[in-house]
């Protein structure tokens, strides 16, 4: 999305207030994910999800990684974020070729379970995709 598109969108009469969208999203995240141990994470996740719809106006965009012990809700949190995000795509054990082609073609919000267990090639592609203009050369 380009700056002009956002400007045109913001200039039109508001049908739904952004705050209402945010609050509704927060309710839905709370429905599926338990961050009661750190309630600020609800705000972080909601801001991240909303920002995915405007990612191309940013020079760089964060990679959200869920860390935790076994059975702590990492996959559920990841799925919730991916399914609510712009062009969300959940992937388990992608190959470097499929990830490269998918990121290059669709610029999705990629959800990868077990990120730390991925190959170095895939981690390199993920790290390169957070910043505008970064490329992972393929021959």
Q: What percent of the chain has pLDDT over 90?
A: 37
Min mean pLDDT across 10-24, 43-57, 66-80, 90-104 is at: 90-104
With CA atoms as reference, report the closest residue to 52 among 17, 25, 33.
Answer: 25
Can you tell me which residue has the tokens 């399914």?
83
Residue 64 and residue 106: Cα distance in Å, rounded?
18
As beta bridge partners, residue 131 has 60
**Which class for 73: exposed (0-12), middle (13-18), buried (19 or more C-beta within 10 A)?**
middle
**Measuring CA to CA, how many Å separate 42 from each of 17, 39, 111?**
19, 6, 18
Q: 56 pLDDT exceeds 90?
A: no
Domain boundaries in the chain? 3-128
With CA atoms as reference, report the closest residue to 41 among 3, 1, 90, 74.
Answer: 74
Q: What is the pLDDT of residue 27?
A: 98
8 Å CB contact between 90 and 82: yes
Question: What count of residues does the chain have?
Answer: 139
The whole model's pTM is what?
0.80
């Amino acid at each position: 999305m380009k700056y002009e598109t956002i400007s045109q969108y913001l200039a039109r009469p508001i049908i739904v207030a952004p705050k209402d969208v945010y609050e509704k999203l927060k309710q839905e995240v709370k429905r599926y994910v338990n961050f009661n141990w750190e309630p600020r994470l609800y705000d972080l996740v909601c801001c991240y999800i909303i920002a995915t719809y405007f990612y191309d106006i940013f020079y760089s965009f964060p990679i959200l990684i869920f860390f935790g012990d076994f059975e702590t809700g990492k996959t559920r949190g990841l799925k919730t974020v991916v399914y609510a995000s712009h062009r969300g795509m959940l992937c388990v054990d992608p190959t470097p070729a499929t990830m490269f082609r998918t990121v290059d073609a669709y610029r999705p919000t990629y959800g990868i379970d077990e990120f730390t267990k991925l190959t170095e090639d895939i981690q390199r592609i993920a790290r390169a995709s957070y910043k505008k203009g970064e490329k992972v050369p393929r021959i």
